[in-house]
Amino acid sequence: MSSPIRVCLAGGGRAGQVHANSLTYHLPGGQLSVLVEQNSEVRATVAGKFGVGECFASLEDALERAHFDAVVITTPTSTHRHLAVLAAAHGKHILCEKPMALTLFECDEMIAAAEKHGVILQLGFMRRFDPDFEAAAARIAAGEIGRPMLIKSLTHGPGLPPQWARDLQTSNGMLAEVNSHDWDATRWLAGSNPRRVYVEVANFKGEARGIDTPDFYDTALAQIKFESGAIASITGVCPCDYGYDSRVEIVGEQGIIQIGDLRGQAVVVCTNRNQGLITPIYRTWPERFAEAYVREMRGFLECIRTGAKPRAGGEDGRWAVAGVLAGTRSFLEERPVELAEVLGEAPEVKV
């Protein structure tokens, strides 16, 4: 085995720790060498937990003073553009968490920077690395169910997102922060780009939880018409409380495929015949996609080693952002929105 790829983690939050865990405990091929985290307390905790040698408050500092090959960006969405462009300029490969950015213009800048400096830009769509999703996608690609006609994808997350992640001004809200994976998965599985979007949202739990963020919603149903003619729905519920739920169902001309399951363990218990059987559910996304996260990082390390194109790259991240923007406009203006409308508004970026 060649020496491990040295990785700098930017962002010590929950997603950051998932990646830190993969690198530290599961992947001999990568090494978590550097941590960038603004919050000194979080920085110390995470560094201690994963034995990270070098820690900095900013990527700028890290780039100046430490040696590493790649950056994993897990900070809030609004910072992605800056960090990615900076990393690219220093020749560092990038694994960027979803959503890619807040605007298409930002996405374009990130894509252009990676291209210009010849670095890998991989997007954090780990579902593409989940064994269930991967197997199903392969069957669809092999034509087993014919052309996809109808796709339903859902992500229901148990807990209330942080303030910034539920405010349309700072994050594009739930459609972006929770459902980015669905925007990517439906497009990936449809094998086609979205053409038109219609979204309804609802706010059932906000009041009881004291949320006064304008336009807050906890329930969303997005409808997508693809270039291929296929129709998809995306549903988001957050906080859904009952568990972490992520499933997809695809009807094709010759059949149906379901991906994922409510149950989270091959254990069934019954101790009360009036209640019935009990089966554990996935409680959180790190549980549900534990294996996918490790495989995603392994894929990233392999792309660095071999120069291969990542499974999910900048273009994929950009399409998800475009869907979010069209969808948000749809529910705000109560009308279907053509993707062309959103795509046409992005000013050009020069490489």
- Residue with Cβ nearer a copy of itself (84 or 190): 190
Which H/E stretch holds residue 156? strand 148-156
Per-residue binding letters, 158-187, with a copy of itself (x by CB under 8 A):
x-----------------------------
Binding a copy of itself by CB under 8 A: which of 118, 204, 332, 351?
A: 204
- Residue with Cβ nearer a copy of itself (117 or 127): 127
Binding a copy of itself by CB under 8 A: which of 210, 275, 344, 350?
A: 275
* Residue pair 39/58 in contact by the 8 Å Cβ criterion: no
Shortest Å, Cβ 164 to a copy of itself: 24
Which H/E stretch holds residue 65? helix 59-65
Shortest Å, Cβ 101 to a copy of itself: 28
Q: How far apart are CA 39 and CA 187, in angstroms?
A: 36
Binding a copy of itself by CB under 8 A: which of 218, 292, 311, 326?
A: 218
Binding a copy of itself by CB under 8 A: which of 9, 230, 292, 303?
A: 230
All residues at 6 or more sequence positions from 207 whose CB lies less than 8 Å from its CB, including other chains: none
For residue 99, is the peptide bond before it cis, meaning its omega torsion is within 30 degrees of 0? yes
Per-residue binding letters, 276-315, with a copy of itself (x by CB under 8 A):
xxxxxx-x-------x------x-----------------
Q: How many CB atoms lie within 10 A of CB 287?
A: 14
Q: Does position 64 bind a copy of itself by CB under 8 A?
A: no
Query: Looking at this protein, which amino acid is placed at residue 303?
Result: C
All residues at 6 or more sequence positions from 114 whose CB lies less than 8 Å from its CB, including other chains: 84, 88, 94, 120, 121, 314
Residue 237: name the closest of 195, 178, 293, 288 by CA.
Answer: 178
- Residue with Cβ nearer a copy of itself (18 or 104): 18
Shortest Å, Cβ 311 to a copy of itself: 18
Q: Does position 329 bind a copy of itself by CB under 8 A?
A: no
- Residue with Cβ nearer a copy of itself (106 or 133): 133
Per-residue binding letters, 73-92, with a copy of itself (x by CB under 8 A):
--------------------
Q: How far apart are CA 202 and CA 101, in angstroms?
A: 24
Q: Does position 10 bind a copy of itself by CB under 8 A?
A: no
Binding a copy of itself by CB under 8 A: which of 267, 307, 348, 350?
A: 267
Residue 235: name the closest of 211, 283, 202 by CA.
Answer: 202
Interaction residues for a copy of itself, span 120-149 (CB under 8 A): 131-132, 135-136, 139, 144-145, 147, 149
Interaction residues for a copy of itself, span 26-55 (CB under 8 A): 26-29, 51
Binding a copy of itself by CB under 8 A: which of 264, 286, 302, 349?
A: 264
Binding a copy of itself by CB under 8 A: which of 3, 210, 214, 271?
A: 271
Shortest Å, Cβ 29 to a copy of itself: 8
Residue 176: name the closest of 290, 117, 68, 99 by CA.
Answer: 99
Q: Does position 193 bind a copy of itself by CB under 8 A?
A: no
Candidates 61-69, 80-88, 109-117, 213-221; binding stretch for a copy of itself (CB under 8 A):
213-221
All residues at 6 or more sequence positions from 162 whose CB lies less than 8 Å from its CB, including other chains: none
Where do we find the tokens 């994993």?
Answer: 72
Per the DSSP assignment, residues forming a β-bridge with 8 are 34, 71
Distances (CA, A) of 128 to 32, 44, 180, 233, 316: 23, 32, 13, 19, 11
Q: Does position 70 bind a copy of itself by CB under 8 A?
A: no
Q: How far apart are CA 278 and CA 272, in angstroms?
A: 10
The conformational region for residue 150 under phi > 0 = left, psi -120 to 50 = alpha, else beta, is beta
